[in-house]
Amino acid sequence: MALTDEHRYSNFIQLSKTCEFFEKWGRVTEDWVVEHKKLIFTYRHWISDYSEVNADIQDHDFRFRCSEIERMLNHLCEDIKTNGMFDPIVYYGMVCHMKKICEFIFSEDELTQCMELLQI
- Burial class, 38, CB count within 10 angstroms (exposed 0-12 / middle 13-18 / buried 19+): exposed
Confidence of residue 9 (pLDDT cuts 50, 70, 90): confident
How many Å apart are CA 20 and CA 25, to the nearest integer? Answer: 8
What distance in Å separates the CA atoms of residue 50 and residue 69, rounded to the nearest whole number? Answer: 6
- Domain enclosing residue 71, as ranges: 5-118
**Taking the C-alpha atoms of 10, 16, 20 and 21 in order, what is their torsion angle to the nearest 10 degrees?**
50
52: Cα within 13 Å, side-chain hemisphere:
4
Percent of the chain with pLDDT strictly greater than 90: 72
- pTM (two decimals): 0.85
Which tens digit of pLDDT belongs to each residue from 73-117? Answer: 999 999 999 999 999 999 999 999 999 998 888 765 655 665 565
Q: What is the total residue count of the chain?
A: 120
The count of domains in the chain is 1
Query: Is 92 exposed, middle or buried, given 0-12, 13-18 or 19+ CB atoms closer than 10 A?
Result: middle
